[in-house]
Structure 1
Amino acid sequence: MSGFVVKGWCPDAWRPMMAGDGLLVRVRPPLGRLTAAQAEGLCEAANVHGNGQIDLTARANLQLRGVTEAGWPALLEELQALGLVDPDPVREGRGAILVDPMWREGDDTHGITTELRARLVELPALPGKVGFVVDAGARPMLSDAPGDFRIERAATGGLLLRADGRATGVAISREDAVDALIRLAHWFVASGGQAAGRMARHGAALPEWTSGAVSPAPAGESLRPGAHPMGAVYGLPFGRIDAAELAAFVRAHRVALRLTPWRMLLAEGVVPAPAAAMVLEDAPILHVDACVGAPACPQASVATRDLAARLAPLVTGRLHISGCAKGCARARAADWVLTGREGAFDLARNARAGAAPLHTGLTPERAVALLGAC
């Protein structure tokens, strides 16, 4: 693969990352939810201090793009005033918590996440890409989403604590869930997890108290664009939305938004209606993962999203187009993956970005010809 740099950490609001189009500032709204006022304020800040482009990530975070170094301090203050960034950078850095977006106030997901957020100072210093998953609804929704320490609904109907990369976990109670999660995080660090970087790569045997044989419950039905019992679900092609368009939607409906790791927004209490740049049906474009590519990302050697739009209606299954071998847009394998290398594409099947290719040195036109014939 072409040269790229694995940063070893993910940007957040206190530690933005320089991209080809300016600073990348990541925002983790508490419980993955924005009130209407927070959404409008975020969009205004994105326009004033950035280039007005917002990305919804596979961890259900928002990324504000094109932020200037001079404008970043003011942006940080505004995000704190909106309640979207913790005033303590240490707590903010430890708050990578992905939640089942269909939580309701007072349920297990809501209660556990709220307690965990209140106790972030009790966590050890963890590698920069480590995150938590709280998936305690009636059926797990986040089985394919990234996360190192997981609280899930068990097949027995109770709760379980599971280390990522292990098929089973140990039964826990609602009252003990956060204690157990914090304890597992401390074990991870004490047993050398910093070197591994992620739980799934950590080879140490789990302690006896957490190496149970409890399986997660079968996964729940996948979220789809359109009507939903809680409102309406809108797909964002490649996770991208223009801040002005999102602000106009929120003003028109005075609606709270829930973020999902599937690059969809759940608008609470809204009757489905067309909205600019947001998709209300299960369109082919929503089955394509594509990073921002060149020139917005300095590590990418190819443009990605124009090709992704051309290929979307031609490909059956999941397609991933990555500007380099890092595979930022999709961590897991896809049916087809095109990886940029030295200005051209490598094509692999049932693989992650950077995998051994079936074809190399493809131009966009050749990639369209190959995948269009599959």
Structure 2
Amino acid sequence: MTFSVVQPVVKGWCPGLHMPMQAADGWLVRVRPLFGRVSAQQALLLADEAERHGNGVITLTNRGSLQLRGFTYEQALLFPRRMVEAGLGLPDPGAEKRRALQVSPLAGLDKDCAVQTLSVAHNLSEQLMNSENLSALPDKFGFVVDGGGLCPAGALKGDISLQAVAGSDTLWQVVCGVARSEALDVSGVVSLALDLARRFVEQADKTRPLRQPETGCLLFEACNQPYERVIIPPQKNPLLTGSLLPGVYGLGVALGSLTPEILRDCAAVASQGEGYIRLTPWHSLILAWQNAMPQITGLLTEHDDARLRVYACSGAKGCAQAAHDTPAQALALSAFLPSGASLHVSGCRKGCAHPAPADVTVVATAGEYHLVRNSRAGDAPVCRVTDFEAVCAFVRSDMGEGGG
């Protein structure tokens, strides 16, 4: 089958604290809280920032960051200083960029998550801040410290992952693409992760291991380090929603979309418990040390809510490359999702909101909708239709009548 393809503009980088990005609705700014934790006071500050200087749109990204939209260029340039003063970033742009580090969101709460998880994360974070040569890593290159447990090992996605060895309290392994190291202690696993990153900087091919898994083997060989090849099975995002552990609750964020009011309500609840809002890369927030499930208007409490399994970019309101209101379309299509199924509505073939495969992906172009099954937005569609009613009919038929 032949079909017309409009090539999207690929910027090749992500916005960061010191690097705002212009969008259709103004400049967007981003904060990457250390280990994905925002204090109640910091949450209140971000809510005020979104209202005073932005358009009130706050997004929880698929890397566990918070993105604020609709800033003027002048306010986007002033934003980093205010965030650094609030403890939400580093003053040095290079160090801030290097600290692209995700950590198991339940570390310190889940007894089945390795007890050394936060210690490893602090060690790696400090080493990254002091490794100026790693500023040459691509903007999207990321590290993961994965302690396993209720959030299963491998659920966090990074180019270089430090994973706890199952059944051990002290041993870790580095996973890079399809290559996995031998078991190492904390010092050894951090050292190896940094060596692999340095080798990546030195090589000519800058295709990240997360995109080209074979790169991991090449990096291990360049470091003269032993490794074993591993099979990386496809894994759906964990649904950290509902009652997770005693006193620990997950609240779902449909499409990752937050408002200042929701953030303030979360801050009020957090201040009565652990004092932090824990961000996950799977469209959920975690509030700990609570007496009961928090009831916050606009957030989801049921782990099987179909709205937690749909993904969408900002659409025409926020991106010049999109022609439709993709968030509204995704929520409308969620009515047809059976339990466990996923759906992605993308405004172009880049698929920014959900780089991984979905059961059904809808690419909403200006002239038609490309429908992709069990794959990514950039893959070949199984068919094309010209109106949204036909999209609904396809999804309803493909997913099964009355799902979700």
Fold conserved between structures, TM > 0.5: yes
- Is the alpha carbon distance of 1:199 and 1:275 closer, same or farther for their aligned partners in structure 2, counting shifts above 3 Å? closer
Task: Considering Cα pairs closer than 8 Å and 6+ residues apart, tell me whether 1 or 2 has the greater RCO.
Answer: 1
State the 1:128 CA deviation.
1.4
Q: Quick check: 2:56–2:68 contact (8 Å CA) kept in 1? A: yes
Please name the residue that 1:307 is paired with: 329
Gaps of 5+ in 2: 399-404
Q: Which moved more, 1:61-70 or 1:225-234?
A: 225-234
Please name the residue that 2:87 is paired with: 83
- Is the alpha carbon distance of 1:12 and 1:84 closer, same or farther for their aligned partners in structure 2, counting shifts above 3 Å? same
Q: Which moved more, 1:217-226 or 1:65-74?
A: 217-226
The whole-number CA distance in structure 1 between the counterparts of 2:307 and 2:150 is 27
Alignment of 1:181-196 (within 5 A): 181-194=193-206, 196=207
Letter of the structure 1 residue corresponding to residue 24 of structure 2 = G
Letter of the structure 1 residue corresponding to residue 219 of structure 2 = L
Q: Does 1:176 align with 2:176?
A: no
Alignment of 1:117-196 (within 5 A): 117-120=125-128, 121-122=130-131, 123-124=133-134, 125-138=136-149, 141=152, 143-155=154-166, 157=168, 158-164=171-177, 166=178, 168-194=180-206, 196=207
Letter of the structure 2 residue corresponding to residue 366 of structure 1 = A
Letter of the structure 1 residue corresponding to residue 106 of structure 2 = M
Percent identity between the two aligned chains: 33
Which string of whole-angstrom CA distances, capped at 9 and with x for unpartnered residues, describes residues 90-122 of structure 1? Answer: 011111111110112993221111122212231
Q: Quick check: 2:309–2:343 contact (8 Å CA) kept in 1? A: yes
- Is the alpha carbon distance of 1:213 and 1:323 closer, same or farther for their aligned partners in structure 2, counting shifts above 3 Å? same
Task: Report how many residues are paired.
Answer: 372
SS for the counterpart of 2:108 is coil
Please name the residue that 1:288 is paired with: 310
Please name the residue that 1:212 is paired with: 227
Q: Does 1:265 align with 2:273?
A: no
The whole-number CA distance in structure 2 between the counterparts of 1:160 and 1:226 is 31
- Is the alpha carbon distance of 1:178 and 1:259 closer, same or farther for their aligned partners in structure 2, counting shifts above 3 Å? same
Gaps of 5+ in 1: none
- Is the alpha carbon distance of 1:324 and 1:25 closer, same or farther for their aligned partners in structure 2, counting shifts above 3 Å? same
Which string of whole-angstrom CA distances, capped at 9 and with x for unpartnered residues, describes residues 296-317 of structure 1? Answer: 1112122211111111020231
The whole-number CA distance in structure 2 between the counterparts of 1:5 and 1:220 is 28
Please name the residue that 1:12 is paired with: 16
How much is the aligned-residue C-alpha RMSD, in angstroms?
A: 2.5
The whole-number CA distance in structure 2 between the counterparts of 1:50 and 1:56 is 15
Which string of whole-angstrom CA distances, capped at 9 and with x for unpartnered residues, describes residues 282-326 of structure 1? Answer: 211111011111131112122211111111020231101111111
Letter of the structure 1 residue corresponding to residue 120 of structure 2 = I
SS for the counterpart of 2:16 is coil
Q: Does 1:329 align with 2:337?
A: no
Please name the residue that 2:401 is paired with: none
Please name the residue that 2:244 is paired with: 228
Give TM-score scaled by structure 2 length: 0.85
Q: Which moved more, 1:167-176 or 1:34-43?
A: 167-176
Q: Quick check: 1:139–1:153 contact (8 Å CA) kept in 2? A: no
